[in-house]
C-alpha cells in the first residue's frame, strides 16, 4: 500500500470520525420534536406543552411542535405515542389519566413498561368550581342541595376516566350524595357547559380556570391539595371540610415510547429541565396556575409507579367504574 493511499485512507477515517462525533449535535440542532397532547386545546396540559415548546425552540435549538389528539379519556393520543418510532422525536404530555386509565381497565398500555420517563414538569391543584353567581357559596351548600334533590344536580369534568372524574366519585361516596356525572372531552368544554347552566359544578384543573377564578366569574369551593394553595387561600382543602381525607394534585410530565435510546432520553430531559429553569418560565407557569417540579429520569418513573398503585387502590375501594 503506497504512502499516498495510506494518507487518503487516514484522511477519510478522520472525516468519518469527525462526522460521527458531530452527529448528535447536528441532530439536536435540526431535530423536530413533537409533543402529543391527548387533551383539548386550552386545557392545562395543552397550556404547559405550548410553554415548553416555545421555550425549548427559542433557546435550545430544536423545533418543537404540539399536536392535540384528545379522545377516549386520553387513550387515543397515548396509544398513538406508544406505537410511535422510539427515536426521541415524539413524546407524550401526560397527567393523572396516564396512570388512571389502566387502573380503570380502559387501556391496554402499561405506563412503566410501554413508556420511558422523561421529566415530571409541573403540578397543579384540582378545584371544584361553580358559577360566581351560584347560590352555592360553600361545599356544604352544594352537598345540601344535592341531598335535597337526589339525581337532579349534574357535576361535570374532563373525562371519563380522568383524575377529575375520580375526585367527583370520591366526593359522591364520601358525602353520600346522588348527582349525575356528565363527562366532557376536557375541562374547557365542561366549563362552557357550566357557563350555560347545563351543569351545577365542575371539578377542574386549576390552569384552565385560573383567570375565571381571579375575575370572580367562577367560585372555588374546595381543592384536593394537601394544604391550601397560595393563590387560593380562601378555598379550603377537602381534608379541611372533614368530608374526606382524599388528597391529590394533577401532575404534568413527559414520557417517550419504550426503547427510546438513553442518549435521546438524556437529551430530551436536558431540554425540558432546561426550559423549566429559564428565568422567565416560573412567572409564566405561575400565571397559569402551574408549579414547576423538574424531576426527571428514574425518579419520575418511580413516581409514576406509586401514582398507579395509589389510583388502583382508590378505584378499587370506591368501586369506581367507567362504561
Tell me what pLDDT residue 21 has. 38
- pLDDT one-digit tens code per residue, 20-74: 333 444 444 457 999 999 988 887 789 899 999 999 999 877 999 999 999 888 8
Across residues 178-203, what is the average pLDDT? 94
Question: Cis omega before residue 65 (within 30°)?
Answer: no
CATH T-level topology, domain 30-123+250-318: D-Maltodextrin-Binding Protein; domain 2 (3.40.190)
Cell of 107: 387501556
Q: What is the pLDDT of residue 48?
A: 93
Strand order in the sheet with 32-37: 63-68, 32-37, 90-94, 250-257, 115-124, 291-296
Top-ranked range on mean pLDDT: pick from 2-16, 224-238, 309-323: 224-238
The two most distant CA atoms of the chain are separated, in Å, by 99
Q: What is the DSSP string of 282-322?
A: HHHHHHTT-EEEEEETHHHHHHHHHHHHHHHHHHHHHT---
Please determine, for residue 17, whether its predicted confidence score (pLDDT) is greater than 80: no
Average pLDDT estimate for 98-103: 92
Distance (Å, whole) CA 80 – CA 100: 18
> Residue ranges per domain, the chain?
30-123+250-318, 126-241
- pLDDT score of 323: 67
The vertex-116 CA angle with 115 and 122, nearest 5°, equals: 105
* Residue-level pLDDT at 47: 87
Q: Give the model's pLDDT for residue 209.
A: 92
Residue 204 contacts residue 164 (beta carbons within 8 Å): yes
Give tens-digit pLDDT for 223-274: 999 899 988 999 999 999 999 988 889 999 999 999 999 999 999 999 999 9
The average pLDDT across 168-181 equals 94
* E strand map for the chain: 32-37, 63-68, 90-94, 115-124, 126-131, 154-158, 180-184, 201-205, 218-223, 250-257, 291-296
Class of domain 126-241: alpha beta
pLDDT of residue 122 exceeding 90, the answer is: yes
3-state secondary structure of 182: strand
Pick the residue with more confidence: 137 or 185? 137
Amino acid at each position: 500500500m503506497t504512502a499516498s493511499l495510506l494518507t487518503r485512507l487516514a484522511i477519510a477515517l478522520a472525516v468519518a470520525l469527525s462526522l460521527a462525533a458531530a452527529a448528535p449535535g447536528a441532530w439536536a440542532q435540526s431535530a423536530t420534536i413533537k409533543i402529543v397532547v391527548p387533551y383539548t386545546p386550552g386545557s392545562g396540559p395543552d397550556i404547559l406543552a405550548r410553554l415548553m415548546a416555545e421555550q425549548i425552540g427559542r433557546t435550545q435549538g430544536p423545533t418543537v411542535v404540539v399536536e392535540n389528539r384528545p379522545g377516549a379519556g386520553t387513550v387515543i393520543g397515548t396509544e398513538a405515542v406508544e406505537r410511535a418510532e422510539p427515536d426521541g422525536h415524539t413524546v407524550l404530555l401526560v397527567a393523572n389519566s396516564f396512570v388512571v386509565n389502566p387502573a380503570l381497565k380502559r387501556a391496554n398500555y402499561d405506563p412503566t413498561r410501554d413508556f420511558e420517563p422523561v421529566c415530571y414538569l409541573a403540578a397543579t391543584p384540582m378545584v371544584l368550581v361553580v358559577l360566581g353567581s351560584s347560590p352555592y357559596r360553600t361545599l356544604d351548600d352544594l352537598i345540601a342541595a344535592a341531598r335535597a334533590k337526589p339525581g337532579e344536580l349534574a357535576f361535570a369534568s374532563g373525562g371519563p376516566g380522568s383524575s377529575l372524574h375520580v375526585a367527583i366519585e370520591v366526593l359522591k361516596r364520601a358525602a353520600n350524595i346522588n348527582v349525575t356525572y356528565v363527562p366532557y372531552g376536557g375541562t374547557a368544554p365542561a366549563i362552557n357547559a357550566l357557563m350555560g347552566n347545563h351543569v351545577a359544578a365542575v371539578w377542574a384543573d386549576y390552569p384552565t380556570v385560573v383567570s375565571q377564578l381571579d375575575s370572580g366569574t367562577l367560585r372555588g369551593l374546595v381543592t384536593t391539595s394537601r394544604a391550601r394553595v397560595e393563590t387560593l387561600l380562601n378555598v379550603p382543602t377537602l381534608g379541611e371540610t372533614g368530608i374526606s381525607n382524599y388528597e391529590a394534585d394533577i401532575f404534568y410530565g413527559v414520557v417517550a415510547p419504550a426503547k427510546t435510546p438513553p442518549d435521546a432520553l438524556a437529551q430530551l430531559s436536558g431540554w425540558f429541565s432546561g426550559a423549566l429553569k429559564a428565568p422567565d418560565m416560573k412567572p409564566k407557569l405561575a400565571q397559569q396556575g402551574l408549579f414547576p417540579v423538574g424531576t426527571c429520569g428514574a425518579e419520575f418513573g418511580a413516581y409514576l409507579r406509586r401514582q398507579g398503585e395509589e389510583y388502583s387502590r382508590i378505584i378499587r375501594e370506591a368501586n369506581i367504574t367507567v362504561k
